[in-house]
Amino acid sequence: MKRLSILGATGSIGTQTFDVIGTHPEEFSVVALSFGENIERALPYIRQYRPKLVSVKNDHIKERLRSLVPSSVEILSGIEGLVEVATHPDADMLINAVLGSIGLEPTLAAIEAGKTIGLANKETLVTAGHLVMERVKEKGVTLLPIDSEHSAIFQSMQGQDNKAISRLILTASGGSFRERSRDELKHVTVEDALKHPNWSMGAKITVDSATLMNKGLEVIEAHWLFNIPYEKIDTIIHKESIVHSLVEYHDKSVIAELGLPSMHVPIQYALSYPKRLELPQEKRLNLWELGALHFEKVDTKRFKCLDFAYQAGKLGGTAPAVLNAANEQAVEHFLNKRISFLQIEDLVERALNEHQMVSNPSLEDIREIDIRTRQQVNDWVKSHV
């Protein structure tokens, strides 16, 4: 039985991870988990799986939870709690499904502790890919991707000579506004942005999908995960979200992973790797029912955030951390209806243009730049509200 620690237990990836665990109770147990403040959603998991350790957002949530769970459950809070969950001595594997740059420190701690890591936290590799992958190599730990695109690439690489890869091709649905022109985007609402045509995701990721920043972050992730230069990572629009990504080899063969849109598949593949387990609740892909699949090039003038991500990735250093921090804050302001949809990319572009880059940043450099960038974005928004 594989013993798991889960960061972000009540989020979209976290809850779907519990779906997979519930399908295979003989394969997995949960020894530690974290969540923010959604006690109502977390309680059934705590009561069913009886983890030894639970971490929450702050001491207020900690006190509320204390009277609701057995005294045998240790409860911690804050970043210290996340690190303790990530490194719990009884866990074999960490599932990092927490949202945002807060996921970096517990990931590094889990690497130091020698844990296998299932990674669904984009920001870990986007902000500090050089530090993370260096430590992964030094410690000899296994880092398994959970994002559907990176899982598809990983699966398409199995049994192949990775030195023979000529190109990675990431597919993008195009998000909620893929049929709209830039003029039409000037007046879209938060409610419009959150209506993703294919996937059920959290609000922030759904907005990132609409700007294609989500794909940009995935490009940076793919660069670090698979050690492929940015010039060999392409993106295409594929509105059906059936082909989850592709790998082209030197002989021009292209291997892809296909399936109906579902995060249960990549989550389970990471949890069970290298085994494949049954997923009885998932529908079978019958291509004749779809009739046709469509692909088109990405217009980077239409999707500026994707272009910003490529630029930041190629610059390296602290540029990706600025990209990520500026985007997180801008999306938060959009979701709170303080800025328009197109102002998200304006704020990201300004942050990148005004940043003084550090070429080989330490973890402390990344933390400082993350905080500074968020404050700058907040100040810019306040000055125009």
Q: What is the pLDDT of residues 259-277, one digit of tens each?
A: 999 999 999 999 999 999 9
Confidence (pLDDT) at 193: 81
The pLDDT of residue 205 is 82
* 307 assigned ligand-binding residue: no
Q: What is the pLDDT of residues 366-377, one digit of tens each?
A: 999 999 999 999
Q: Is 123 annotated as a binding residue?
A: yes
What residues have CB less than 8 Å from 279, skipping those under 6 apart? 20, 23, 264, 265, 268
Q: Can you give the pLDDT at residue 196? A: 62
What does the pLDDT read at residue 317?
A: 97
User: 101-106 — which CB contacts under 8 Å span 24+ positions?
Assistant: 101/127, 101/321, 101/324, 101/325, 101/328, 101/370, 103/7, 103/8, 104/128, 104/132, 104/363, 104/366, 105/79, 105/363, 106/7, 106/79, 106/82
158-174 burial code (b ≥16 CB/10 A, e <16): eeeeeeebebbbbbbbb
Is 202 labelled a binding residue? yes
Question: Helices then strands (H, E): number in the chain?
Answer: 17, 12
Say if residue 324 carries a ligand binding annotation.
no
Between 70 and 176, whose confidence is greater? 70
Answer whether residue 216 shows pLDDT above 80: yes
Task: Write out pLDDT tens, residues 54-69.
Answer: 999 999 999 999 999 9
Q: Is the pLDDT of residue 221 over 90?
A: yes
Rounded to the nearest 5 degrees, what angle is found at the Cα of 167, between the Cα atoms of 164 and 171? 140
173 marked among binding-site residues: yes
Q: Is 140 left (phi over 0), alpha (psi -120 to 50) or beta?
A: left
Q: Tell me whether residue 215 is annotated as binding.
A: yes
**pLDDT band at residue 215 under the 50/70/90 scheme:** very high
Does the annotation place 349 within a ligand binding site? no
pLDDT of residue 192: 79
Residue 111 assigned to a binding site: no
Q: What was the pLDDT predicted at 197?
A: 63
Query: Where does the pLDDT of residue 385 fall: very low under 50, low under 70, confident under 90, or very high at 90 and above?
Result: low
| pLDDT tens by residue, 320-379 | 999 999 999 999 999 999 999 999 999 999 999 999 999 999 999 999 999 999 999 999
Q: Is the pLDDT of residue 202 over 80?
A: no
Instruction: Please tell me whether 122 is known to bind a ligand.
Output: yes
- What is residue 209's predicted lDDT score, i.e. its pLDDT? 87
Kindly report, residue by residue over 288-316, the tens digit of the pLDDT.
999 999 999 998 888 899 999 999 999 99
| Tens-place pLDDT, residues 105-159 | 999 999 999 999 999 998 899 999 999 999 999 999 999 999 999 999 999 999 9
**pLDDT tens digit string along 159-184?**
999 999 999 999 998 877 877 878 88
pLDDT-derived band at 201 (thresholds 50, 70, 90) equals low
User: 3-state DSSP helix/strand/coil percent for the chain, to nearest 5?
Assistant: 50, 15, 35
Mean residue pLDDT of the chain comes to 94
The answer to whether 121 is annotated as binding is: yes
Dump pLDDT digits (tens) for 182-199: 888 888 888 878 876 665
Q: Confirm whether residue 196 is marked as ligand binding.
A: yes
Write down the pLDDT at residue 344: 96
Q: 362: annotated binding-site residue?
A: no
Is position 96 annotated in a ligand binding site?
no
Domains, in order of start, for the chain: 2-145 (3.40.50.720), 147-216+226-264+284-301 (no CATH), 316-385 (1.10.1740.10)
| 214 marked as binding residue | yes
CB proximity list for 125: less than 8 A, separation 6 or greater: 119, 132, 133, 220, 221, 224, 225
pTM here? 0.93
**Is 118 assigned a ligand-binding role in the annotation?**
no
